[in-house]
Structure 1
Amino acid sequence: MDVARRFRALIDTLCDAVARRGAAGVFGPESGALTILLWTRLRRYATFLIRLCDNQVSAPRPRPTRHRERRPVDRARLALPRRAAWLLAPVPEAVAAAGQLRALLAEPELQRRIAADPRFGRILRPLCRTLGLKLPAALRLPQRPRKRRPKPETTQARADEADAKLPRRFRPPAWLRRRERPRGPPPA
């Protein structure tokens, strides 16, 4: 069986389990809506991966250079949980699906396809996170450089700067200036 069919079988099994458990109310008070959302997302993953494997998806379009205004985010909208392995507790069948996905990710054919087309990562990364799998090296994103935050100025430095801007006759005398004391326990 090729990679696309195995992935489709894995998603079909997972969707059946999600539908059964969701109908039983394992996802809480909004079980129906969350079940439909998860089921739809899984089906979309399967369809897109099969289309990618069959080369039915066109090449990605270049991103526009101009900045578009973002739509306001609706915080009340239902969303899937984001923590790792969140699906394993409410749907025990997901443990078997995680094992199948781990075996599928070890296939040389899928690894070759992932290396050739990074769009596979858009499907497999969230699925791995949902099932609690460690991302293989081919799916890991490069780390983004972090912006360094400037160190906050101390109160004393700001006070000295503010005093320096005043004419000399309005500056407080040195003995009145508050000195910064070291914080922490006193030396022993």
Structure 2
Amino acid sequence: MSATPTNPPFVIRCFIVMMNALCDTVAEHGPAGYVPVPMVNLIWTRLQNLTTRFLAALARGPIPPRAKPTPKPTPEIPPESQPQPEQPPRARRKRLTLPCREAWLYRLIPETGFTRFTLQHILADPEFAGFLAANPKLIRILTPLYNAMGIDLPTEPPFAPDPP
């Protein structure tokens, strides 16, 4: 079966199914595992956004790197002409953030183990590795997911290119 815009390759469909299963597992087993509901919502939203970004970057295809723009000189403002703050800044509420240690999602919700194994298997697939090799931005998008699950991303594709 050929891949068309409405019918992505099989390995991408597997990735989408696994990400949806991971979101369902987080939503179902998170509160049961004493994970606060706001944290479950944050994890679920992050996973959905990651999937959307990955699929959008995959649909765009590889983007050639841009040349770095030259920095514009900024005029210096004398200290006496800078505005002075009149009121002290208001205290802000502490923001809820996700953990950043290795395999934090797998440790927080152990039921995500089946998804971890499947994502490792998808990553080892030569077709998926070819997508990652063709567009390095995809690796950058997937890095937080694979760090959260405790999976090492390859630095280079697991297959050798065909000899000419």
Higher relative contact order (CA 8 A, sep 6+): 2
- Specify the alignment match of 1:5 in structure 2: 13
Q: TM-score, normalised by structure 2?
A: 0.67
The one of 124, 130, 134 aligned to 1:116:
134
CA–CA distance in structure 2, aligned partners of residues 65 and 55 of structure 1: 27
State the superposition RMSD in angstroms: 2.7
Q: Does 1:103 align with 2:103?
A: no
Any gaps of 5 or more consecutive residues in structure 1?
Answer: 68-73, 140-188
Given candidates 89, 93, 102, the residue that maps to 2:111 is 93
1:17-57 per-position Cα deviation (integer Å, ceiling 9, x unaligned): 11112333522xxx121111110110011112222333379
Deviation string 1:77-135 (CA, Å, 9 cap, x unpaired) is 11110000111233222111111111111111111111111111122211111011122
Bigger fraction of residues in helix: 2
TM-score, normalised on structure 1?
0.60
Kept in 2: contact 1:21–1:90 (CA 8 A): no
Report the identity percentage.
Answer: 37
> Does the CA-based 8 Å contact 2:104-2:150 persist in structure 1?
yes
Change (3 A) 1:88 1:55: same
- Runs of 5+ unmatched residues, structure 2: 1-8, 73-91, 158-164
CA distance in 2, matches of 1:117, 1:86: 27
Which of structures 1 and 2 has the bigger CA Rg?
A: 1
